[in-house]
Structure 1
Amino acid sequence: MGYWRRIAAVGAALVSAAVLSAAGVRSEIVKLDQGWSDDDRMRWAEASQGSRLIPLAWLKALEQAGSEKPFLDDAFVEELRYLPRITSAGERLPLGFAVDVSDDEALTLTRLRWKTGQGSREPWVGLNCSACHTAEITYEGKRVRIDGGPTIADFQRLMETLLEALKATSTEQSKWDRFAAKVLGTDDNPTNRTKLRGAFSQLVDWQQTVEAMNETPLRYGYARLDAFGHIFNRVALAAGSPTQGPNPSDAPVSYPFLWNVPQHERVQWNAIAPNKPFNSPLGDGVFDVGALGRNAGEVIGVFGDLVMRPSPGLGGYVSSVDVENLVSLERQLERLLPPAWPEAMFGPLDAGLVEQGRSLFLGRCASCHQPLARTDLTTRIPAKMSLFSDPRNPPGTDPWMACNAYSYTAETGVMQGLPKSYFGGLSSDGAFEEEAPLSDMLAAAVAGVLVGKKGDVVKSASLAFFSVDRPPVIAWSAPKGLQVDRGALVAAVRSPEKQRRLDRCMTRPSQALGYKARPLTGIWATAPYLHNGSVATLWDLLLPPAERPKTFYVGAREYDPKFVGYRAEKSAENSFAFNVFDQFGRPIDGNSNLGHDYDNTGFTDAERMALIEYLKSL
């Protein structure tokens, strides 16, 4: 990092602290030793992956529905549980809201023009991995930042309130006038206002289409997201069938923690995505094409611009995916250590209890949850699956994430006739017919994206093979200078078609139909628990499933170091009720807190506390 950039970063940090302090936000952040520098953290927060949600100028000018407050007002960002921040370029954007300046000439959805003489590299804002994978907990007035930890943000509400704000701006003349004046500035004239109106309408129409595809009566609340549902529906839309039907995004999961992810044989809760590291023939370098594919799929789902066409061949698909930054961010992730229990804040561990808990863990848990030293960043971690169809050891947890990923289908549109492996002759799977599993369509879409970016892939692989470190690039340098109550969780009556899908998922002997166990290093910092975030604390997780709380409150960052998790009682900050059952006593699909029962009734309360003490030490 150059001298002047360091000065700018320090200045931005000081301004950020002053702004947040003035806004009533505690400014002291405790950073744990996880192997990253402040420069690493800045790049993690700001480097674009190619995600493009809304033009930066529009987002800065956008007001909340029913108010003249900025959409990204710090108080509202906090309400959504994202993290307010001033970037190194001086922009007020939540952590992980990254600016992308890709050339848009070959793109479609984000090639919007709203003023005369506008260039092809207009800054857009999207999300990068840090928006969902940075945690912050509070305790007795201090904030602890955990890199790679799960956010507790409410993504569902973010998208709904963004659409509300866009529609209010479109329909209310006074809002529109303020918005247009801010966006156009010195270019504000009748011609550009007409251009802006047309471009704005395109974005509103697209966001309405996406929301309709993902629509579900299930409320995710804080700390959960159906990422696969959103990714699948973006692929379905990109395929371009005019009669494409929606697949509800109704299987939210807890945001996974990212330390040790590069060591896993397979990732995601259902182990659907393999890591595929290739060793350099010339040295010690490694290039993981599986990780690149997984991350490219994430960008497709989180606002990437993907242009599909029939018979793409060696040209591949055009996209906004930033291959070089994806590779750089993954390589940075290889250096991320799990967070150690901060004894200075939460108190020292009881050595006797830790040893007692270790014995319990080795006897009851280690066969699935591989023990791993906190500083071990090299041991390969196999995928240990618990399958729905296994009569001896089914997971028992909510099945819908894995079931949807396995069973959702879509019309293939422009992908019809494309080899399922993307390249013909490399597999015997044949070609896509009129309808296909969305998991197969996603894999082919990712292959097409990487073929379309083959130059960047080759460049990144070459650097990796020669162990050349290329930090993630922050391309944007800024020039100088009605809230709806969504607390109720209502269960939809399960349709016959959905019941048939579930029956199929629970009986098919597929490696994709189940959930993966993983090492629990740093598990203390990853509440709520189970794959779908249905258990508030480690104490609750160790109870017999029938005794776990059926309602608890989420949204607070305040930590409970005894039972290990966020405080779960109702409060002004803990405003969202997570419910296992609806108001009629029916189980809510997606919210089951059963499973992970390894004779939990056999634990005494003292043994549970000992096991928790050991888990804190990992």
Structure 2
Amino acid sequence: MIPRSLPPADRRRLGRWLWRGLAALVVLAAVLGLGVYVMLFREVPQRLPVEPGVEPIATYFKYGSIGAENTDGIPYPIWVVLPHVFADKLPRPGGYLAFGMPWEAGDELPIGISKKTIGFPRVAINCAFCHVASYRTEPDGPRQVVLGGPGNRARPLEYVRFLSECAEDPRFNADTLLPAIQYYFDLSPVEKQLYRHVLIPLTRDGLLEQGERYAWTESRPDWLVGRIDPFNPVKYRQLGIDWREEREELGFETIGNSDMQPLWNLAMHRAAEPGGPLPYSYHWDGLNTDLKEVVYSGAIGDGATTESLPVQELDAMQAWLEQLPPPPYPFPVDRELADLGKPIYDRLCADCHAFDGTRTGTVIPRDEIGTDPHRIDMWTEEAMTIYNSFARGEPWAFRAFVKQDGYASVPLDGLWLRAPYLHNGSVPTLEDLMKPSGERPKVFYRGYDVYIDGGTGFIFEGPEAEAEGDRYDTAVPGNSNVGHEGPDYGTDLPESEKRAVIEYMKTL
């Protein structure tokens, strides 16, 4: 208030100064607000590298954002220095290569990691983290990277645990991290203060929270290399199901550990969707029957939200994946022997595994297929119901989640690179899959990406496999290698016919 005792001229002068001061405060608040917005929240369209001879959508698949940076993004400079500051937390040497992400020479990021500026540069995983395969035809040979293939070297659970363990360490503070960051990045004085007082503490809190979200994994079998439990994390985070309450209600802890799945030839899968004889079932246990929902929910499972989901980009990626072929078998094939094997395949396998098979894409009941049931039991009626209402109000709202009681019969295109076999990756080669379960390897090593010359799987025993891979024990819950055996599955065929049908399956 301006005192009335002042002369009129002084009152007017003081009033003008007060208004000017108020205007200055408003401007200052606006400038500060704009600065906070620019430094923390302004979203910049992603600029992906131009790769000679590579389709832009293939580059998007490798490095593009699926919307996970908004909630799960880690400041890029902090992410860069973590393997250096916390090298003792890595499960093996190699920095981020320790988690199986292919890193092409000269690229800024490994395949499967996107970088996007939302106020500041942030990194997060994308679909390629789990859907890029690699193989070598000899130990010293070049590693071939196959987009859309099953991530046979990916270690998602180890990656999550590494980040959480870094945050738990007392060294995760500005005094330790800022010098490391400044070794690689030229931060301005304002940026230094931003990292010291805001980004480093917030990142630490976020990673600690992530560790708490994955506490349920400590009492269940590890995923192991090339495998993931894709829907327990969704149940316990996005769907809000409490894992402790679920355990009490069910009387057991659900285990969804299963092999990564390839994303080849999706147009052939769509051909069997509604409108055909039967809806096509996706995921190992057939929990969804709509490909678009599978793509969108995959991004949400990796950290996207209903607000951040990049629908147009995901639609374009889906269209590209629909036409993406698998790579051919990398060794010579005995064509005469393969020709002898084709009629055997047509008689025993095609009904469930050829693209035009009458049961391909349908769910085979658990009692019929006889394989490990844990993945089936992981997905519950409650989860199905909640997910179908998860995005209510969105034009792409989910409607096709279902609860089934078996495993989907998948096409076998690119079968050679799908090893190890069965939904949980419990059988190392097709030669082993064609044996009764009692004769299949009970313990082997998976994750060594050197392929058996002329065989149908990766080298799974010996010092190299043990050094690079994970020990797979079929006695562990969720790891059973039983099932898919008997007269209908070819395990009692004469050895000559087994060799012939396996030779044919190399050509798929």
TM-score, with length taken from structure 2: 0.76
Aligned to 1:383: 361
Aligned to 2:79: 59
The reply on whether 1:578 has 2:472 as its aligned counterpart is yes
- Relative to 1, partners in 2 of residues 1:250 and 1:76: Cα closer, same or farther, differing over 3 Å? farther
Aligned to 1:126: 124
The reply on whether 1:136 has 2:129 as its aligned counterpart is no
Aligned to 1:438: 383
Aligned to 1:489: none
Partner Cα distance (1:175, 1:249) in 2: 40
The reply on whether 1:539 has 2:484 as its aligned counterpart is no
How far residue 9 of structure 1 moved from its aligned partner, in angstroms, is 3.2
How far residue 591 of structure 1 moved from its aligned partner, in angstroms, is 0.4
Contact 2:351 2:359 in 1 (8 A): no
Partner Cα distance (1:176, 1:201) in 2: 11
Alignment of 1:123-202 (within 5 A): 123-140=121-138, 141-152=141-152, 153-168=154-169, 170-171=171-172, 175-179=176-180, 181=182, 185-186=187-188, 187=190, 193-202=196-205
Higher-helix-fraction structure: 2
- Relative to 1, partners in 2 of residues 1:233 and 1:185: Cα closer, same or farther, differing over 3 Å? same
Deviations 1:19-56 (A, max 9, x none): xxxxxxxxxxxxxxxxx955443222112111233222
Aligned to 2:101: 82
Letter paired with 2:404: A
Partner Cα distance (2:64, 2:201) in 1: 30
Letter paired with 2:75: P
How far residue 549 of structure 1 moved from its aligned partner, in angstroms, is 0.3
How far residue 96 of structure 1 moved from its aligned partner, in angstroms, is 1.5
Contact 1:226 1:252 in 2 (8 A): yes
Aligned to 2:328: 340
Aligned to 1:323: 311
How far residue 123 of structure 1 moved from its aligned partner, in angstroms, is 2.9
Aligned to 1:366: 350
Aligned to 1:97: 113
Aligned counterpart for 2:369 among listed residues 395, 417, 422: 395
Which of 1 and 2 has greater Rg?
2
How far residue 353 of structure 1 moved from its aligned partner, in angstroms, is 0.8
Partner Cα distance (2:253, 2:239) in 1: 12
Partner Cα distance (2:370, 2:263) in 1: 24
Flag as ranges the 4+ runs of structure 1 deviating above 6 A. Answer: 71-74, 241-247
| Root-mean-square deviation (Å) | 3.3
Partner Cα distance (2:119, 2:314) in 1: 20
Matched residues, percent identical? 25
- Relative to 1, partners in 2 of residues 1:557 and 1:403: Cα closer, same or farther, differing over 3 Å? same
Helix, strand or coil for the counterpart of 2:95? helix
Partner Cα distance (1:593, 1:242) in 2: 27
Contact 2:132 2:146 in 1 (8 A): yes
Q: How many residues align?
A: 433
Helix, strand or coil for the counterpart of 2:133? strand
How far residue 80 of structure 1 moved from its aligned partner, in angstroms, is 2.2
How far residue 196 of structure 1 moved from its aligned partner, in angstroms, is 3.1
Partner Cα distance (1:366, 1:243) in 2: 42
Aligned to 2:32: none
Helix, strand or coil for the counterpart of 2:326? coil
Q: Which stretch has the larger CA shift, 47-56 or 542-551?
A: 47-56
Contact 1:181 1:188 in 2 (8 A): no
Partner Cα distance (2:193, 2:175) in 1: 16
How far residue 256 of structure 1 moved from its aligned partner, in angstroms, is 0.8
How far residue 615 of structure 1 moved from its aligned partner, in angstroms, is 0.2
Partner Cα distance (1:575, 1:380) in 2: 37
How far residue 597 of structure 1 moved from its aligned partner, in angstroms, is 0.9
Contact 2:92 2:98 in 1 (8 A): no
The reply on whether 1:555 has 2:443 as its aligned counterpart is no
Aligned counterpart for 1:233 among listed residues 215, 219, 236: 236
Unpaired stretches in structure 2, ≥5 consecutive residues = 1-46, 270-279
How far residue 301 of structure 1 moved from its aligned partner, in angstroms, is 1.5
The reply on whether 1:203 has 2:206 as its aligned counterpart is yes
Contact 1:214 1:249 in 2 (8 A): no
Deviations 1:398-427 (A, max 9, x none): 1111111135xxxxxxxxxxxxxxxxxxxx
Letter paired with 1:218: P
- Relative to 1, partners in 2 of residues 1:604 and 1:72: Cα closer, same or farther, differing over 3 Å? closer
How far residue 530 of structure 1 moved from its aligned partner, in angstroms, is 0.3
- Relative to 1, partners in 2 of residues 1:40 and 1:236: Cα closer, same or farther, differing over 3 Å? closer
Aligned to 1:50: 67
How far residue 451 of structure 1 moved from its aligned partner, in angstroms, is 6.0
Contact 2:450 2:458 in 1 (8 A): yes
Contact 1:539 1:564 in 2 (8 A): yes
Letter paired with 2:341: G
Helix, strand or coil for the counterpart of 2:377? helix
Alignment of 1:491-530 (within 5 A): 512-530=404-422
Deviations 1:473-510 (A, max 9, x none): xxxxxxxxxxxxxxxxxxxxxxxxxxxxxxxxxxxxx9
Deviations 1:102-155 (A, max 9, x none): xxxxxxxxxxxxxxxxxx543322222222111110012133222211012111
How far residue 293 of structure 1 moved from its aligned partner, in angstroms, is 2.1
Partner Cα distance (2:245, 2:112) in 1: 31
Contact 1:134 1:149 in 2 (8 A): yes
Partner Cα distance (1:371, 1:452) in 2: 29
Partner Cα distance (1:72, 1:58) in 2: 19
- Relative to 1, partners in 2 of residues 1:196 and 1:181: Cα closer, same or farther, differing over 3 Å? farther
How far residue 529 of structure 1 moved from its aligned partner, in angstroms, is 0.7
How far residue 8 of structure 1 moved from its aligned partner, in angstroms, is 5.3
Deviations 1:424-465 (A, max 9, x none): xxxxxxxxxxxxx01221222144555699xxxxxxxxxxxx
Highest RCO, 1 vs 2 (Cα 8 Å, sep ≥ 6): 1
Unpaired stretches in structure 1, ≥5 consecutive residues = 11-35, 102-119, 276-290, 307-317, 373-378, 408-436, 454-509, 582-587
The reply on whether 1:260 has 2:248 as its aligned counterpart is no
Partner Cα distance (2:83, 2:299) in 1: 26
Partner Cα distance (1:175, 1:294) in 2: 42
